[in-house]
Structure 1
């Protein structure tokens, strides 16, 4: 950064050989830059300030000059600047600072004690190796220029330095502030509502020293809708004082007055008087121009060729001075803008209007683009000869991106606003109605505008809520609201009223559906409360995320020393003892986490089971919990009694099994003795026995064998529970294949056909289930009748169980006998017709019951029989 104040030969103003020309250029520069500019001497005292500093701080120029910078800055900020300045000077070479000072963010203190956030850039002024002072550029971080975009954000600054006039889209005067009225000696009541052109030509012109150029310049912007920036004129106000005014005018692009114009009259008398002082500071500000990096500041000749270049221009645009001086300034414009002739048009507008301000994309040396704020101002000699242009460019890319983001967010917000809106003035006359309001009010905008609210809807006077809301809002200037059913329009209305000095803005909506839902919810809650209050033998509660009970009811309260009123509205921890709370707390917290939980506990001598369940909204979010507590004292008592009975039965069954085993085992010994002696008789005396004796002996041997078979069956029956293998996942297909292999001879002899579907995997004892299939298939072959056996084995899934069926087409079973066939030693046929012990089906039943299943038979005589039994299923993935 070049900082030496004596480097003027090739400085920004190089070539200026006339003090008036230099003054004119300097004034143009100062008035082009909106930031505050000041110069301090080596002791830190003000020696020069521009109007922006004066307007921002509220101090006059005379009050500032000679004062120390600490008048405006906090001591800590002054110390920080001095430290950075000392460090920069210490690192310099031959008196020139080698390191630029950083940008400071601090607050400037005004004359009223307010603090304005600013960004401050400080540059040292060095001559002959000595610090002569500093130049400061202060930028208002609040970006006050943006406040001119809408009427609400544009206000005349406090004090007598600037006045504001606003025109609507018909160019009629809608607002004149006190400052503008004083500057131009205007009667505000007489001016507001008149055509702006007439006011300028007939009223304002009379106050000006040279009215014709002013009227011509102003009215031309009215016709063209263009900008007019910094037109200077001399006016005489109502106090008889003559002052210099600077006029600015621009269209209003958004807001309530979009299409209109805003005009500012600023008092520049002090600035005019200080031009001689500014001339004396010319060299210091020339050094400033070269030092300022925030702005690209350069001059063009009359044809638009670059003839000077500052450090800020290099920083923003990327060119060194020797690379760009002599080139046309259109180099910085995009190809599209050059094709449209925008650069030359801007020069023409600047010549015609005194300056032109433009924003758009510009191009750096490396081809990248940035969003620029550009001001082009003609430079003229004292005699008015056009000598070229001053061009000031600021990189506003960050602001542009923020504006795009804000605009996008604003559009999204506006897109979500669906409320009806209307506004009334202080006499309750409609001044604005949007489409939704017209729809709900069943009146068009034309029918409402200018009409009094009470005249259009006279029955509203009968609603005290409405009348009071409007009059309270107007009288107290405080927002009010109301909600009621308006039978004239047949809907529930919710309205919010926001007053101002000129009337009331009303946002309202049809909330009929919401009110109906609330009523339905109240009715639902009442029904729920009624059900809860009649909840038999238990207690129902609702609780929120703070564990505060919102409902407590149920007949179970009759059994405890707590009433529903003791719970509702109270916190969980405040109503239960520490021991009871510790038992219940995990279940309630689990419900609020979305889990169902239960807990059993004892309370005041009774036993309870409590279920806690989450309550969710339509999105599935848990917003509350519910508990249902049942008194299970009697059930627990019955359960304990049942457990005792079962234990007794199990003990009895165990003794019976032991008895059956012992009996069957002990009967084997005499049976073996009988069989042995029968065999001896047959072997020794067979030749001496007659025919009857042989028959009797045969009967005795057959009886002994049948007795042995029955004892073996009884022994096997008694061992089903005690001698069975553990239940485990098994596949039934291999089990059935083993059975079919054992029955192969019987199948071939009977010419049987056996159809088998694929069988599942079950939880079982493979050996015992093999016995079940053996008995059922053997019976199907045995009781097939005169026709060859036809047997079908299949399976069907039923929940967590498999239903296995063995069906035949044999002789069938009478309905009266279908349960009896499962009794031990029960036979339906003689041994001559069908041999057997009568224990096979009883054994099947005992095995199936050990597996937790059931077995039964469906049959009709002569139509065959289907034996079905259930077994626990096994997950196919196991």
Structure 2
């Protein structure tokens, strides 16, 4: 029988293992492994407690079975291996799942071993058995750890093989389903695989292409242009190399892209993808030809076509200016179109030209223009505003003007002649009849000339209409064909080709938006709907419903106070609120939710005041009059979208109702738009 429990013989263990746990923690900290023990300290204390029990059982069992002559550590370990082995397995089960490195785990076991064996209170006679205990525990733990690692490695290897197999299947599916012709090449440039689109493009069965050099399929020139063999050999890549290749006797334009794939079927290889842009190139060529035809039409029109900004600075003059006025186009570009107008005519021309942009009125005016040789010519100028520019055409009417002057002189002469003959009518009746006949003949001639003149003017107006239509038609064709291309061949427009078409569509849609806004602006004054009582509260609720999604996206809020009912055009009031609220939401400050507040109150004189206040970017009040002018924008189109007509439309609506609109603002502090409208339209 044993003389007592190990707890009585091993003071470091204590009765519950608490002393051994504290000593182990101290040993771990001294060994420099405290950071690994930090998150697992409770688990290690529990394990040390169980190890204390196991070691005590192991030593008690050994003492109870002492056999003379065989009391050696090796024999003891052979006789009682189950306890340390079970503890070793348990240690692996507890600590391996926490991603503890094996080296750290084993070092912590060594710390535990040293803690026990180096304790000065440990009797010398039990040290060999304790050492055997830890030898068995460490051996079992190492074997169990390696077994788990091997099992985990085999599991990961199976998963890796499964992943590689799935990736190969996925690659094969993607490669075969690609819409673009694609092929796989080896390092010599021979075809290893082709997809169905490649075979269809070259009109050859796929198996007939395998093994053939790419120079025979694409042509040597195409391979040299993209440095195909060099890029494959150096594991490089290339993209969008435009080349012409021959397919079934037809010349095709393609973009070639490719990249190295490393080892393909045991040899270095790569993938090459073709993008057929033959149709795009033909369309681009047709567009250029159309532009050239348009330019040729403009330059060969008998009259002079011109383009100028709102200040009258010439941006374009057709070559016919040389024939009519004697100047080369380059001599006039950048100069004011008013500089060569007769002093007596220039003020009227400036006034009418300004109305092009402020009122949108068509310019049609006759005035005198100085020839390069100093002579004065009569011209008939017609123009329309388009955005910030005016486009027009003028014709030389010097001969027509001279003829009209002569006709007027003749008419005056006839009137004088009648006056002179009136006193002699009684005495020279026969002569008077002759005079009347002469006058009638002259009148007929005058009417014939007037008819001719009207016909000439009508022809000029018809020509202006046709010329305007012909100038718009190429733009309409560009937008229509661009939309058709994107709708019909979306997969073929990637990279720059898609970007260019998107920019064409964007420009065309901006022009359509501008035309719609101009039309809306022009309808304000011409509207003849009768006025009625409009409940502004109900109307504003309808407007808010229209903006519900947009306000939600901007995470904003629109507050509406109590509004009265006033007399007016309900449709135009709706447009007024839509424009002002849309403006507030559009010109909001970055990273700040938009807040809009609409209020109303009655003022003396039966005037109703409406205010629309926001927390947007604001503006300098010196621009308050400009913002209500058509086409005026305080910010560039790249910053905020729009045509610059919304506030001008608001001003026209308010003016039609006999009211006024203004604004107060500071940059960065928001804006307040103030509207004064009569309550009763019939009494204003």
Query: Which structure's residues are more often helix, by fraction?
Result: 2
- Could you state the TM-score of these two structures normalised by the residue count of structure 2? 0.30
State the TM-score, normalized to the length of structure 1: 0.24
Structure of greater Rg: 1
